[in-house]
Amino acid sequence: MAYGFNPAGVWGTKGWPFSQGVIAGEGVTLHITGQVGWNAEGRLVGPGDAATQAVQAFENIRVILEAAGGALEDIVALTIYFLDRGDLPAIREVRQRYLPMPGAPASTAVQVAGLVEPDLLVEFTPVALIPHKRFKQPKR
């Protein structure tokens, strides 16, 4: 199990649920492709709505983790790519719902000019550490 921490003497999290440092224990590291607001059929969920796209992205992440025996709390690092700073409060609320404190992952947020398709507003790229006792080899 990973252990997130926020030591004194470093800037605060400014309302975001993340840890300044994460110590990862033993397990299987799972790098997940950036997830966006596409559903299982490949259609965009929530055009123009960053929160709805963020929910779909986290649901995609959940499915991928579960296929390998993992869970959202196994995420140790998360990179967030977003287009509009005005969407950050909505993205933060969704992220906090899926990755609450304490123990939230180490994180980076990057504003970008665009994502792979023009209607996408947010993308999450997580890294998870699944404990050996729960890991299962996913089907291809």
3-state secondary structure 17-66: CCCCEEECCCCEEEECCCECCECCCCCECCCCCHHHHHHHHHHHHHHHHH
pLDDT at residue 21, as a whole number? 79
Q: Is the pLDDT confidence value at 5 over 80?
A: no
| Predicted confidence (pLDDT) per residue in 90-125, tens digit | 999 999 999 987 778 989 999 999 999 999 999 999
64 CB-contact burial (10 Å; exposed 0-12 / middle 13-18 / buried 19+)? middle
Name the 3-class secondary structure at 131: coil
Q: Is the pLDDT confidence value at 17 over 70?
A: no
Which pLDDT band, with edges at 50, 70 and 90, does 13 fall under?
low
pLDDT at residue 101, as a whole number? 74
Q: What are the structure tokens assigned to 113, written together?
A: 């000019």
| Predicted confidence (pLDDT) per residue in 47-94, tens digit | 999 999 999 999 999 999 999 999 999 999 999 999 999 999 999 999
Three-point CA angle 98, 55, 81, nearest 5°: 90
Separation CA 76–CA 62 (nearest Å): 14
The pTM is what?
0.89
